[in-house]
Amino acid sequence: MEKKQGFFAALKEEVVRGLSPSRSRSNSPARTGSPISGLLRRGKKHTNSDALVARSGSMRVLGETLTPLMEGPDPDGCHQNGDPKKVGSGLGHWMKGQLSRTPSVSSTSYKRSDLRLLLGVMGAPLAPVHVSAADPLPHLSIKDTPIETSSAQYILQQFTAASGGQKLQNSIRNAYAMGKVRMVASEFETATKVVKNRNASRCAESGGFVLWQMNPDMWYVELAIGGSKVHAGCNGKLVWRHTPWLGAHTAKGPVRPLRRALQGLDPRTTASLFANARCIGEKKINGEDCFILKHCTDPQTLKARSEGPAEIIRHVLFGYFSQKTGLLVHIEDSHLTRIQSNGGEAVYWETTINSFLDDYRPVEGILIAHSGHSVVTLFRFGETAMSHTKTRMEEAWTIEEVAFNVPGLSIDCFIPPADLRTGSVSESCELPQDERGKNSLAVNRVKVAALEKSHNCSVDSMIWKMEI
């Protein structure tokens, strides 16, 4: 008798067969469904599996009551004790709908530029610097070491121990996570007025994301929200992104981890990121005493990430570690970009992302933050004293499933898309297009136009086209 199986059984079947997210990508994302939704559609057809995939057990209501996923395969293809095992298809149907649905009703109230700004800034941001999870943490040293540095090393040792221990974390070869996300542009401020979104809860866009990671330094994320999708990945040598308005392109600068993974999903990479940080003090976060670690991006990395008229002046990362639990409860990064127009005044953009991590639960012995929220502020100033603007955006997420050491996952799952453009695009391309267009040189306009030439396509019946 044919027996249905859950999402992870289908995932294992597909990766063993050599089917990867990259191989199922098409040159025209508008004409094909998401590779993830395709995987979910095929999941019901498979009948055999021989691997037990760990799950976080953090299932929640997603618009319908979910039946439990199978905890393990039935090698004989028979029902146990005469009772059929139930299949948790609700989550699969939800993700399929999120990754392939048409634009929601609320998205019609959004400007297309608003949705683009949400996805461009919060969809798949990168960490400030290159780090590798394989890099060992610095040995705790007190002699001839500044107190700020030795204190930071001690705090990281406590964080690693609280997260599950270094030995257990080093046993993780790959990881998978699935979650829900809600985004909204909540406030816009100018020198003369402040416009708040009074219907933020009604206008918030809901969606979901899936994330794969594999050692060394490989990751792939897909996020769908508001009828549009953003893909990004890294094969260990280059970072690429695919957005509806720029198509597939490589990112400027060195290979860097995905910031979303640092929000409580990857404690080993998080510890590596703060390996060279300094302890600068203490602060209460939501009533909890925390140590503050600060890491500044080196000038060489900043220069590599800059391009043309856009120069990244600084990028600073702050980590707030609980003195009680040792866990990371708040992460803040801020980077300042200077855009010099041809013969005009320079304009500065400061992007600040504050993320709060909550609901830590053990998954295979490793503590994972299962929920959190971020507040993003884009502050533009320069030109004249009264010309500043400030845009505030918010994001809330929950993690539905986590798995480690997924059998059969290989490097083929992180192959860049076939239509990847060779020219890299700097982070300034994600700034609001009307302002960036005023301060960009012709070389950037030509680059963006070339990227768009073959991507003036519809995405779920929405036409995205930059006007620069």
> Which pLDDT tens digit goes with each residue over 218-236?
999 999 998 889 999 999 9
Token duo for residue 337: 């970009």
Query: 162 pLDDT exceeds 90?
Result: yes
Helix (H, G, I), strand (E, B) or coil at 403: strand
| Whether 431 contacts 196, CB under 8 Å | no
Q: What is the largest CA-CA distance in the chain?
A: 79
Q: Is residue 194 included in any domain, yes or no?
A: yes
pLDDT attached to residue 468 = 29
Q: How confident is the model at residue 405 (pLDDT cuts 50, 70, 90)?
A: very high
Query: Residue 431, Cα to own-chain centre: how many angstroms?
Result: 18
φ/ψ of residue 448, rounded to 5: -65, -40
Let me know if residue 20 belongs to a domain: no
Residue in 372, 363, 440 with CA at minimum distance from that of residue 401: 363
In a domain, 359, yes or no: yes
Angle between helices 35-43 and 7-16 (to 10 degrees): 110
Instruction: Flag whether 277 is in a domain.
Output: yes
Place of tokens 């618009």: 63
The predicted model gives 11-17 an average pLDDT of 53
For the chain, the average pLDDT equals: 75
C-alpha triplet 125, 175, 3: angle, nearest 5°: 125
Three-class secondary structure of residue 22 per DSSP = coil
CA distance 429 to 305: 12
Q: Residue 59 is encoded by which pair of tokens?
A: 């299932």
Residue 424 is predicted with a pLDDT of 73
Q: Output the six-digit token pair for 350.
A: 């400061």
Spatial separation of the C-alpha atoms in residues 249 and 467, rounded to whole Å: 18
d(CA 432, CA 409): 38
Distance CA 128, CA 313 (A): 12
Of 188, 229, 230, 181, the residue nearest 204 (C-alpha): 181
Band (pLDDT 50/70/90 cuts) for residue 6 is low
Q: Is residue 238 assigned to a domain?
A: yes
Residue 405: domain span: 111-463
The C-alpha atoms of residue 225 and residue 233 are separated, in whole angstroms, by 18
pLDDT for 456: 39
More confident residue, 12 or 202: 202
Is residue 198 packed enough to be buried (19+ CB in 10 Å), middle (13-18) or exposed (0-12)?
exposed
Per-residue pLDDT at 284:
96
CA distance 68 to 81: 17
Listed ranges 43-47, 301-305, 322-326; the one with the highest mean pLDDT: 322-326
| 293 closest CA partner among 202, 159, 390 | 159
Confidence category of residue 440, pLDDT binned at 50, 70, 90: very low
Question: What pLDDT score does 9 carry?
Answer: 58
- Residue at 392: amino acid letter: R
Condensed to tens digits (0 to 9), the pLDDT of residues 314-365 reads 999 999 999 999 999 999 999 999 998 777 788 999 999 999 999 999 999 9
- Out of 35-39, 105-109, 234-238, which region has the weakest mean confidence (pLDDT)? 105-109
Q: Are 438 and 205 in contact, with CB atoms under 8 Å apart?
A: no
Q: How far apart are CA 179 and CA 323, in angstroms?
A: 28
Which range, of 37-41, 118-122, 215-219, 246-250, averages the lowest pLDDT? 37-41
Radius of gyration of the chain measured on its C-alpha atoms: 22
412/431: higher pLDDT: 412
| 376 within some domain | yes
- Residue 291: pLDDT band with limits 50, 70, 90: very high
Tell me: pLDDT of 394 over 90. yes
**Number of domains comprising the chain:** 1
Residue corresponding to tokens 């597909």? 14
What does the alpha-carbon distance between residue 224 and residue 206 come to, in Å, rounded to a whole number? 9
Specify if 103 maps to a domain: no
Provide the sign of the torsion angle of the four alpha carbons 261, 262, 263, 268, taken in this order: positive
Alpha helices in 255-406 (DSSP H): 259-262, 267-273, 299-305
pLDDT at 167: 92
Task: With beta carbons less than 8 A apart as the criterion, state whether 416 and 218 touch.
Answer: no
Residue 89 domain-assigned (yes or no)? no
Cα gap 82→219, rounded to integer Å? 42
Residue with the bigger pLDDT between 183 and 25: it is 183
- Chain-centroid distance, C-alpha 179: 11
Structure tokens at 251: 């990112």
End-to-end, the C-alpha distance of the chain in Å comes to 59
Res. 116 pLDDT band, cuts 50 70 90: confident
